A = this chain, B = another copy of it.
Amino acid sequence: MENSTHRKKRILDKGMEINKIYHQDCIAFMKEISDNSIDLIFADPPYNLSKSNFKIKFSQMTSKGTDLTTNKGEWDFFTSQEEYKNFSEKWIKQSFRILKNTGSIWVAGTYHNIYLMGFMLNKIGFTLLNEILWHKTDATPNISCSRFVADHENFIWARKGNHHTFNYDEMKKLNGGTQMRSIWPKGKTSGGKKVHPTQKPEWLLERIIIATSNEGEIVFDPFMGSGTTAVVAKKLNRNYLGCEIVPEYFRIATKRLDIVRPKSIQLCIIG
């Protein structure tokens, strides 16, 4: 086993600090991260849902909140399916490289993009461990009445090497004494009002981080959004690292992180 000091040194090889978030494009950022240095990645990539050519302004999107359009903002525009595929392959390849051999990755999606995500994860060398479903009991009804109401979101959990972390007992305890299953009903903590259109609730990240990482390990989020992953990681005494390209979300994430205190104090930032 690699000791903690050694791991942090390697992260610093390229001058990067942990327990800090960065205002940067994810692929450029990931290229700066050393090989085999991250324990857990949580990625909630753009879903490539925004089909319209009318690019609504970021300010509109944040002020409107839920507006029943599929335009999620400029960050969710790709000019073609091919471009989206290339982009996905790039960041998943980087994820594979920066993960430790014992590390694992979570990728969020819906039926619009999750099959491509699973296909790419497999192609790049990950071993899929589970598909988890967030059962959204408060899903938007289907307006056209021509399909079923999509009331779930998918999460693929996959590992890089031949071993992975799974805190079985903690999950069993959280699930009232029986094994935690793949369909997750609504949890309790939400983390407050949504400020990002695809923001995940805190209970979901809590469960993911507790299940598949240990205290003191490094959790990285390449698509931070409003920073839920980093906030929860910090609360749960993990080291965090993240990047976000949209200035407004980056500011929100910074603010949210400022007011979070870990369960116990740990020296994390090196340098």
- A40-83 with Cβ < 8 A to chain B: none
The answer to the question of A130 belonging to the interface, with a C-beta cut-off of 8 Å to chain B, is: yes
List residues of chain B with CB within 8 A of the CB of A131: 110-111, 114, 150, 152, 154
The answer to the question of A225 belonging to the interface, with a C-beta cut-off of 8 Å to chain B, is: no
The answer to the question of A116 belonging to the interface, with a C-beta cut-off of 8 Å to chain B, is: yes
- A105-121 with Cβ < 8 A to chain B: 110-112, 114-119, 121
User: Shortest CB–CB separation between residue A23 and chain B, in angstroms?
Assistant: 32
B118:A111 contact, CB within 8 angstroms: yes
List residues of chain B with CB within 8 A of the CB of A117: 115
The answer to the question of A139 belonging to the interface, with a C-beta cut-off of 8 Å to chain B, is: yes
Query: Which residue on chain B has the smallest CB distance to residue A185?
Result: B183
| A interface: dominant SS | mixed
The answer to the question of A3 belonging to the interface, with a C-beta cut-off of 8 Å to chain B, is: no
User: With A130-B150, A183-B151 known to touch, is A114 a contact of B115 (CB < 8 Å)?
Assistant: yes
Name the one of B112, B115, B139, B152 contacting A115, with C-beta atoms under 8 angstroms: B115
Name the one of B145, B148, B156, B182 contacting A130, with C-beta atoms under 8 angstroms: B148
List residues of chain B with CB within 8 A of the CB of A116: 115, 118-119, 122
CA distance A116 to B115 in the complex (A): 7
A151:B181 contact, CB within 8 angstroms: yes
- A159-183 with Cβ < 8 A to chain B: 164, 166, 168, 171, 179-183
A180-218 to B contact mask, C-beta < 8 Å, 1/0: 111100000000000000000000000000010000000
List residues of chain B with CB within 8 A of the CB of A115: 114-119, 121-122, 128, 156
The answer to the question of A133 belonging to the interface, with a C-beta cut-off of 8 Å to chain B, is: yes
Q: Residue among A128, A133, A148, A154 with the most chain B CB within 10 A?
A: A148
In the complex, given contacts A116-B119, A149-B181, A151-B182, what are 13 additional A-B residue pairs having Cβ atoms less than 8 angstroms apart? A110-B131, A111-B118, A111-B130, A112-B128, A115-B118, A118-B119, A132-B148, A133-B133, A141-B179, A145-B168, A147-B166, A148-B157, A148-B179
